[in-house]
Amino acid sequence: MNKKILFVLVALLPFRLSAQSPWSLKSCIEYGLKNNRSNVVYENEKRAADAKAKEALAAYLPSISMTGTLDDNLKVQETVIPAGVFSPTDIRVAFTKKFNANGYAQLDQAIYDQSLITGLKANKYNTQQADLNKQQNEETIIYNISTAYYQIKVYREQLDLLNSNLETYRKQMEISALQVNKGVALQKDLDKVTVDYNNAVSQIRVAESNLTLSENQLKYAMGYPINNPIVVDSTAAAKDVQTVAPALTESNMFSAANRTDFRISEINAKLLEIDEQRLKAGALPKLNGYAKYGAIGFGDNLGPAFSSVSSYSSIGLRLNIPVFDVFKRSAQVSQAKYKRLNAIENLKLDEGKYQLEYENARTKMLKEQSNVENNRRNIELAQSVFSTTNLQYQKGTTDLTDWLNAQNSLKEAQNNYLNSLYQFFLARIELEKAGGTLKTFYTAL
């Protein structure tokens, strides 16, 4: 029995290790694309577009209806045969009875209706629009997950630096406390270091709170259970700075057609064009065919109205020619025309706007990438200055004020670096968004 339990534990060990492995950005995005609840909304919209296409097609398919009526003529209507036809006086005659039952089935088929034919062209674009809306939602998921993920990495790096600073202050507190006890240092020197130590503790608490908030934001963007823990890959965030695709730095690589929102606007313009054509086609004649079969019965009582029925049938054509609705139709066509023209102009405006967004995002990303590299070198210089000052302080050749100033300069360099690092990540994702390459960015991770 013990061997069996041991075997099961050994067998499950790889799964436990897998469950505890850190999440990479790609695995977070992959999970979000499958589990974010917004996917259900856009999938339903796609199904609704398919149903709308079937509805439009159904208007050109045969339709069958069944109708039944039962009339109780409380006072039977009579008509008059004028005098001289059958009698020298007027004759009052009823051509029905008290009860009248009628039931029939009718088949209708549109033979020619140009407005319906034109409307069918919209089916393809409605389907494409639903697909693009779904793709745009996926890009939004990728964007939200990426920004939250990189924020977590920056906060983790901040915590590493803050904990390192805290340890430095802790050691200096111990040294200053010994110096105070020996009478070679003043209490105010220990107090100065203690204040900086307490400030570092407070900064760590704030950073830990920010980290938790960012993790919750990431879980929400992923559709991940908010109460379940998640461990993000703790690899140094600085390594991701070098992963920028070279093509993104070239302005001639931009094309507005790569942006999903631009393609959605193009489809909207096409749909407005079809709507204008459909309204124009409404002025053309419509031809429909029909076939009818039914039975009718009459009786002075209810029973005979159903028992003594006679059948009838007919087939025919129905031609509908609009004659005097030109003013209303002309107004509708004019509205549709100007909506279409505005959509075309907005496309041109959007193309310029998206080009501007891309150029600005590209410029900002290149600037932030340079800032990250400069601030990283600045940390190395500040660390070198602090190490030298710390050695001099231990040898007694400088005072605590210089030591604190060097440490504060190091902290300032660290803050500048962390801020530029996050701004770079944000600019990188904004550039991918502006270039319409968020899905390419995801697949290349």
pLDDT, tens digit, 9 for 90 and up, residues 10-40: 444 444 434 558 899 999 999 999 999 898 8
Integer Cα distance of 414 and 424 in angstroms? 15
pLDDT band at 54 (very low <50, low <70, confident <90, very high): confident
Q: What is the pLDDT of residues 295-322, one digit of tens each?
A: 998 888 888 878 888 899 999 999 998 8
Whether 236 has a pLDDT exceeding 80, the answer reads no
Integer Cα distance of 420 and 234 in angstroms? 19
pTM of the model: 0.82
pLDDT band at 274 (very low <50, low <70, confident <90, very high): very high
pLDDT band at 72 (very low <50, low <70, confident <90, very high): confident
> 81 versus 129: which is more confidently predicted?
129
Q: What are phi and psi of 265, to 5 degrees?
A: -65, -35
User: 156-165, 232-241, 340-349: lowest mean pLDDT where?
Assistant: 232-241
Per-residue pLDDT averaged across 329-336, rounded?
A: 89
- pLDDT reported for residue 411: 94
CA nearest to 341, candidates 281, 403, 268: 268
- pLDDT reported for residue 378: 95
Per-residue pLDDT averaged across 233-254, rounded?
A: 60
- pLDDT reported for residue 18: 43
Contacts of 70 (CB under 8 A, 6+ apart): 99, 100, 101, 102, 305
Contacts of 317 (CB under 8 A, 6+ apart): 111, 287, 288, 289, 290
Contacts of 256 (CB under 8 A, 6+ apart): 262, 350, 351, 354, 355
User: 159-163, 281-285, 288-292: lowest mean pLDDT where?
Assistant: 281-285
The 3-state DSSP class for residue 251 equals helix
Q: What is the pLDDT of residues 189-218, one digit of tens each?
A: 889 999 999 999 999 999 999 999 999 999
Q: What is the mean pLDDT of the chain?
A: 86
- pLDDT reported for residue 17: 38
Q: How far is CA 54 from CA 48, 131, 336, in A?
A: 10, 17, 24
Integer Cα distance of 40 and 341 in angstroms? 34
Longest Cα–Cα distance in the chain: 148
Amino acid at 162: L
Question: Judging by DSSP bridges, how do beta strands 309-320 and 91-93 pair with one another?
Answer: unpaired
Query: Which residue do the tokens 């990250």 mark?
Result: 372
pLDDT band at 164 (very low <50, low <70, confident <90, very high): very high
The 3-state DSSP class for residue 65 equals strand
What percent of the chain clears pLDDT 70, i.e. is strictly above it? 91
Q: What is the pLDDT of residues 93-122, one digit of tens each?
A: 777 788 899 999 999 998 898 888 888 888
Q: What are phi and psi of 422, to 5 degrees?
A: -65, -40
